[in-house]
Amino acid sequence: MKSFQKQTASPSLRDAIAEVLIIAYRESTRLLESTFVQAGFCCETLRQADLPEYEPYAAAHRCLLNHETAWRKAATATRPTLIVEADFVPVVDFAQLPLPFNLHQVTVGLAWIYTCAPQLYSVTPEGFGEGFSTSAVAYIVTPAGAQCLCDGFVEAIVKTYGTGYHTFDSEIDEYLRKRGFKNYVPFRNYGEHGGRSNPEHQRNGMSGIHHADILYGKLAFPLPCLAEESFSELKFLNLRLFAWSKGMARLLLGKYLRLATLRGSSVPFRLIRFAIARQFNL
């Protein structure tokens, strides 16, 4: 698989990642776990606890608390940790893909490997894309970044939203950046969001299910959301076409790479190349 990144600048995920933590509630994670284990990763599933005090909490807040459990484990690791939600579906040869940031950069907080509504801020000389995403479906967090999130992120969310509905994942980037960290977006997505639309999001005016605009390759197994659908292969092709088209629209409308970002960059053509090459295999 070719990448915009210089392969010598980044080890593979299998070599760089300490552990994979799967965030789950009651979903089956057997296939996802076995895929990671067969690829050579140490893998553990963290399931949300059904504690009495959690009953009035919104599902989104309970999910945040489970991510916090993962952050506490990741903060004690000696290498970055991959955290994925139960409905993530990795691509084939996932373990061989490059780490999307410089492993030796001490200011890295987090790097998404699956993005939703991403923005590109800058591109390093090595070809790594610094940026933003609003999804916690799959991301890599460094020990320092995880510790920072443990040191007040949940409290900040509760102060603003209480324990009701919130989209905590859209605030992780700003929280880390204000504390001196840099966050990264992948050249292409390392997998797909395979779950069904969350009714809680729809009840609060959010759009339906989101999907990766462009993937590094074929998926390791079929999307769970299409497993019992008739004409599933045709629906999958339609889904992928729509997602790619939406990503192209964001690029052309200046939402992925904003005009103000280009004007303020000392290397604008590096950003343009990154943004266009990811869509067209250039």
CA distance 282 to 78: 36
Residues 115, 116, 121, 126, Cα dihedral to 10°: 10
Identify the pLDDT of residue 7.
Answer: 41
Return the amino acid letter for 85. Answer: E
CA distance 113 to 111: 6
Full-model pTM: 0.94
Identify the pLDDT of residue 197.
Answer: 64
Query: Which positions of the chain have pLDDT values less than 70?
Result: 1-9, 196-208, 281-282
Identify the pLDDT of residue 209.
Answer: 76
Least Cα distance to 247 among 211, 208, 209, 200 occurs for: 211
CA distance 218 to 192: 10
Contact status, residue 8 vs residue 98, Cβ threshold 8 Å: no
Which structure tokens are listed for 259? 């005009």
CA distance 110 to 38: 25
CA distance 280 to 122: 20
Contact status, residue 18 vs residue 77, Cβ threshold 8 Å: yes
* Cα diameter, the chain: 55
Return the amino acid letter for 10. Answer: S
Which structure tokens are listed for 114? 């699956």
Residue 119 C-alpha from the chain's centroid: 13
Identify the pLDDT of residue 2.
Answer: 46
CA distance 191 to 186: 11
Identify the pLDDT of residue 207.
Answer: 62
CB atoms within 10 A of CB 212: 28
Q: What are phi and psi of 269, to 5 degrees?
A: -70, -25
Q: Give the DSSP H or E segment for 89.
A: strand 88-90
- Would you give the end-to-end CA distance of the chain in angstroms? 12
Identify the pLDDT of residue 194.
Answer: 84
